[in-house]
Amino acid sequence: MDKSKFHLNPDAEIVKNIREGLKRTGGYCPCRLQHIPENICICKEFKEQLADPNYHGPCHCGLYVKD
């Protein structure tokens, strides 16, 4: 995965809250109810968005932002 394509959200409060949620859920996206492999951060949805040259913006929970 090319990490130069994305970065942490510049909003420190969002990052703090999501990281706390990730700790609480054992690495699963805290915005998702199902604890399935596809929802482990970095989730499958955002990996697909990273591969999409037309997508620019945040992941589902807002922790990461695609450049």
C-alpha separations of 33 from 25, 50, 51, 65 in Å: 10, 23, 24, 22
Domain count, the chain: 1
C-alpha span between 16 and 12 (Å, rounded): 6
DSSP assignment, residue 43? P
Q: Which structural domain, as residue segments, surrounds residue 12?
A: 3-66
| pLDDT digits 0-9 by tens, 18-63 | 999 999 999 999 999 999 999 999 999 999 999 999 999 999 999 9
- Of 58, 20, 24, residue with least CA distance to 42: 58
| Torsion angles phi and psi, residue 19, rounded to 5 | -60, -40
Is this structure's pTM higher than 0.85?
Answer: yes
